[in-house]
């Protein structure tokens, strides 16, 4: 099997985002539900998205607004699959930082829960 067709590992999250088609002036709202270095699942109520639409996705990480270019790969009534289209290494780093931020928060919560369970036990 071609390694380019193997999906990247996904990190589950619930991150509010806004997005717009490249040629649009209006932003729509949605949530990223999972993410990898190569793409994400965007949950939204925008009915007009279809494969090959180009989007700009805006989100906030650690108090800073970020944006990333993406292309819609598939769409259904719940949302769409996005493929990130990084313009430069900074764009790749933005996605990597977001994944790290989400996983670090989970690790912190697990550590707190483990400490609570050890005290109770």
Q: What is the pLDDT of residues 83-110, one digit of tens each?
A: 999 878 877 888 888 888 778 776 655 5
- Cβ(80)–Cβ(74) under 8 Å? yes
Domain spans of the chain?
Answer: 3-120
pTM for the whole structure: 0.76
* CA 82 – CA 35 distance, rounded (Å): 9
**3-120: CATH topology:** Thrombin, subunit H (2.40.10)
| pLDDT 10s digits, 26-60 | 899 999 999 988 899 999 987 789 999 999 999 98
């Amino acid at each position: 099997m071609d390694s380019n067709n193997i999906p990247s590992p996904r990190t589950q999250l619930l991150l509010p985002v806004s997005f717009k088609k490249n040629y649009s002036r209006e932003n729509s709202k949605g949530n990223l539900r999972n993410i990898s270095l190569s793409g994400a699942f965007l949950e939204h109520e925008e009915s007009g998205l279809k494969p090959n639409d180009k989007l700009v996705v805006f989100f906030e990480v650690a108090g800073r607004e970020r944006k990333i270019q993406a292309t819609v790969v598939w769409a259904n009534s719940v949302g769409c699959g996005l493929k990130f289209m990084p313009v430069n290494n900074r764009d790749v780093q933005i996605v990597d930082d977001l994944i790290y931020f989400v996983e670090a928060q989970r690790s912190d919560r697990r550590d707190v829960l483990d400490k609570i369970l050890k005290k109770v036990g």
